[in-house]
Amino acid sequence: MRPRRTILLTGVLSLLNVAPAHAQHADPDSARIEIGDVTRFLRVLDTLAAARTYDDSALVLFRDYYLPGSPGLRGFIRSRIGSPFELLDQMTGHHAYYAHLPRSLAGLAATQTEIRAMFRRFKQLWPDARFADTYFLVGRMNSGGTTSRTLVLIGSEMYGRDADAPETEFSPWERTVLRDLSMVPTIVLHETMHVNQQGVAHPTLLQQALVEGGADFVAELVTGRNINEHVHAWADPREAALWEEFRAAMDGYDYTSWFGSSRPDRPADVGYWMGYRIARAYYLRASDKTRAIGDILHVTDADAFLAASGYPDTVRR
């Protein structure tokens, strides 16, 4: 490996070893919403344009984007972005799209008002709600959002597909999942649900579907939108067949047909939709809607939750 690359990778590892402390917030107005990493990345694009070599470009990314990064960016580097070389490769393959981001993400700051309003609405619906500091980053088009410890991390480039965005570089998956800024409050609320959920070690397929689908359902209650609208459009007419297929596999640990894009005959993440349908059935059946939200977010016995939802009896055959 060339010396400069060794130095860069060593620097990234050192950067990621720093683990800043953070906390959850009971007050929806106390959680931070930070876009500084995105602002800095968009400025870095101008510097990259003047870089002469691939290694020079990677050095610019490390020096001007990675090194001064927020705790959120460090978490996103660790979990989703990887080295400056991995990010640079993605940017090179999607040069026109990344070059368009200064225009399509220009309204990102304005979404903070709606996000804060949605935080308050979630608190009204479920008084025990907790909130994490939310950081907007720019990654390599492999994650619209995730959580890192007590942080919510949003891959802003996944929401840069406005009406004028160049699309010739997109893969079929990217054509399906890339959105515009109108989806940002909903993805933030989806990830906020994960902050509030109770983790289970080694979840079965059913448990994992309830984790993701439950987050989708409660986020939709709050925002009125769903991050997987395209999956619902495909899956709703096929509900009976999908339920039979899911029921046969739900006690196992094979996620391949339900999470990710492993099958050409269906959209990615149909498991989110299935969990959503079960959570929705549970909520509609419950007399105490506030308690139902807590139950959806704190599923520890997936089989008991499924039975209480009555979902299998609602499926049209």
Average pLDDT over residues 92-100: 97
Express each pLDDT in 162-197 by its tens digit.
Answer: 999 999 999 988 999 999 999 999 999 999 999 999
Residues 6+ apart with CB under 8 A from 119: 28, 29, 31, 129, 131, 192
Query: pTM above 0.85?
Result: yes
Please report, as a single letter, which amino acid is at residue 205: L
How deeply is 47 buried, as exposed, middle or buried, from its count of CB atoms within 10 A (0-12, 13-18, 19+)? middle
Distance CA 135, CA 148 (A): 11
Question: Which 3 state secondary structure label does DSSP give 202?
Answer: coil
Q: Answer positive or negative: Cα dihedral of 235, 238, 241, 243.
A: positive
Kind plus residue range of the DSSP H or E element containing 152: strand 151-155
Residue 19 pLDDT > 70, yes or no?
A: no
Express each pLDDT in 153-165 by its tens digit.
999 999 999 999 9
Closest CA to 104 of 178, 186, 160: 160
Cα–Cα distance measured from residue 282 to residue 280, given in angstroms and rounded to the nearest whole number: 5
Q: Which pLDDT tens digit goes with each residue over 254-287?
A: 999 999 866 788 999 999 999 999 999 999 999 9
φ, ψ at 307 (rounded to 5°): -60, -45
What is the rounded distance in angstroms from the CA atom of residue 253 to the CA atom of residue 250? 8
One-letter amino acid of 49:
A
pLDDT recorded at residue 199: 79
DSSP 39: H
For range 299-305, the mean pLDDT: 96
User: For residues 123-153, b (16+ Cβ closer than 10 Å) or e, as one string?
Assistant: beebeebbbbbbbbbbbbbebbbbbbebbbb
Give me the percent of the chain exceeding a pLDDT of 70.
Answer: 91
pLDDT at position 260 is 85
Virtual CA dihedral for 118, 122, 128, 131, nearest 10 degrees?
A: -30
Q: Is 176 exposed, middle or buried (0-12, 13-18, 19+ CB in 10 A)?
A: middle
Neighbours of 229 (CB within 10 A): 13
Q: What is the DSSP string of 214-264?
A: HHHHHHHHHHS--TTHHHHHHHGGGHHHHHHHHHHHTTS---TTTSSS--T
pLDDT tens digit string along 31-53? 999 999 999 999 999 999 888 99
